[in-house]
Copies of this chain bind each other. A is one copy, B any other.
């Protein structure tokens, strides 16, 4: 078992053969092997200038044989281009953001850019932290969700002159791809009002540091006010995300003691699903006793019973447009500051006129 003790002389001799750092090949190695200069290697491999056919071939052959892979850091340093963009989203596990990132990445990938995504957990300080981390990495562009961020963040982005685009929002100052959250929520509310609902509630995720969520609730209030109605404070509940959250939210609303709403607008389809489950478990009929509207048109929304009416925010289209926008900015092309990709109400079976309305 015991290793034989190495002979002393071996220890003294330089460990030539054994140690052999086995570094991976660099341009210089390729250049030597092909009998050209490193400049020529670079020219061949990047196609940046004409090179005589025989040398071209020699370089290709040498690179192939050595299994040469360019060092990205060195390239980024000399080109002053990192070929990567960053994105900070509130929650990487949320379907809307996944679709956003997925289409955003696809678009960038087409032009050779890499996406580095981070999540902030809906915390303004985390957005700053993660974005700074990405900026230090050297990203060439940045996508953020929403318009309200740490003031230091904007300063940092401007200082580094990093092209930035905000999504799911329309801001007065910065480049945005998105929609008017208040207006779209107001539209959904008007739809419910037109059906005859007057007691409308909302169950949303946490609204702290979340301008979109806040704007949506604001839009609902406005639409109600426009018809001389208002929402009871007990009908406005804020929960942590998810199906369980939806159940809790609705339970909480009922526990408040006031007369329950006849319609609820939920922050996500998951919350809407939870609300439906809780309502059903209490013997309520959907949509007869309670209409429910979700957000994002998740896979399962159309398959619930009844199928869920939901607001499709077109995450994938927004991601693609954000990619287009940043790619343009990064290559110095002109861009439109605001791109509106309107949210759309998909009416399915979970909404109907309220019973009271039918009776009247």
Residues of A within 8 A of B (CB): 22, 24, 67, 69-74, 76-77, 82, 84, 92-93, 98-99, 101-102, 105, 109, 114-119, 132-138, 155-156, 159-161, 242-243, 270, 273-274, 277, 299-300, 303
Report chain B residues within 8 Å CB of A155.
Answer: 67
Residue of B nearest to A67 (CB): B159
Report chain B residues within 8 Å CB of A136.
Answer: 69-70, 72
Give the residue of B74, B114, B273 whose beta carbon is less than 8 angstroms from that of A133.
B114
**What is the CB-to-nearest-CB distance from A305 to chain B, in angstroms, rounded to a whole number?**
8
Given A92-B98, A116-B116, 4 extra CB contacts under 8 A: A67-B155, A72-B76, A93-B99, A242-B299
Q: A274 to B115, alpha carbons, bound, how many Å?
A: 33
Q: A307 to B72, alpha carbons, bound, how many Å?
A: 49
Q: A49 to B22, alpha carbons, bound, how many Å?
A: 30
Q: A155 to B136, alpha carbons, bound, how many Å?
A: 32
**What is the CB-to-nearest-CB distance from A81 to chain B, in angstroms, rounded to a whole number?**
9
Q: A22 to B159, alpha carbons, bound, how many Å?
A: 9
Q: A300 to B156, alpha carbons, bound, how many Å?
A: 41
A156 and B67 contacting across the interface, CB-CB below 8 Å = yes
Identify which of A109, A136, A160 gathers the most chain B CB atoms within 10 Å of its CB.
Answer: A136
B82 and A93 contacting across the interface, CB-CB below 8 Å = no
B72 and A22 contacting across the interface, CB-CB below 8 Å = no
Q: A98 to B94, alpha carbons, bound, how many Å?
A: 10
| Selected A-B contacts with CB under 8 Å, 10 pairs | A24-B159, A69-B136, A69-B156, A73-B82, A92-B98, A98-B98, A105-B118, A109-B118, A115-B117, A242-B299
Residue of B nearest to A298 (CB): B300
Identify which of A22, A82, A137 gathers the most chain B CB atoms within 10 Å of its CB.
Answer: A137
Q: A98 to B119, alpha carbons, bound, how many Å?
A: 13
Give the residue of B22, B77, B99, B303 whose beta carbon is less than 8 angstroms from that of A71.
B77
Residue of B nearest to A138 (CB): B72
A92 and B82 contacting across the interface, CB-CB below 8 Å = no
